[in-house]
């Protein structure tokens, strides 16, 4: 790309075309800095306006993508936390019933839980605190 810029510096029409189309591929400041002072370039204003419009479009797209990524990250984190809080059934034990182990390290016989299918530790839920992840 630098060879193309170098070969266009003495041709105002080429500079205008490059400015009009360079925005997304190369930093336009590189080309603008190399333009000789006093060189008249027809349509320079329109090319600079297009560069600014392209720049604002890129910023808008990046902000939109950032918002989507942040929302997705929070949703995935929430899903991870909910999954980690669920109990795990430990079966084939020699004792009275299956054992449910929660991520907070509390364990209960399935028959001792107040409700079947509990998704969070009764002790941690009662104390209204997050389970200790160690």
Residues of the chain with pLDDT under 50: 130-131, 134
Burial of 125 (0-12, 13-18, 19+ CB in 10 A): middle
Q: What percentage of the chain carries pLDDT values higher than 70?
A: 85
CB-count burial class (<10 Å; 0-12, 13-18, 19+) for 133: exposed
Q: What is the pLDDT of residue 95?
A: 58
pLDDT at 71: 97
What's the pLDDT score for residue 30? 82
Q: Give the pLDDT confidence score for residue 134 in this predicted structure.
A: 44
Give CA–CA dist 73/76, Å, rounded.
5
């Amino acid at each position: 790309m630098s060879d193309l810029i170098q070969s266009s510096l003495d041709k105002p029409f080429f500079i205008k075309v490059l400015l009009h189309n360079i925005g997304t591929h190369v930093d336009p400041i590189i080309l603008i800095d190399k333009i000789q002072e006093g060189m008249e370039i027809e349509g320079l204003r329109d090319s600079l306006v297009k560069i600014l419009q392209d720049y604002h479009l890129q910023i808008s797209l990046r902000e939109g993508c950032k918002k989507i990524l942040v929302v997705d990250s929070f949703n995935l984190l929430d899903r991870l936390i909910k999954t980690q809080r669920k109990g795990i059934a430990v079966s084939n034990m020699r004792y009275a019933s299956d054992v449910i182990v929660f991520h907070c390290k509390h364990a209960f016989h399935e028959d001792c839980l107040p409700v079947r299918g509990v998704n969070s530790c009764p002790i941690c839920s009662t104390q209204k605190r997050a389970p200790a992840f160690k």
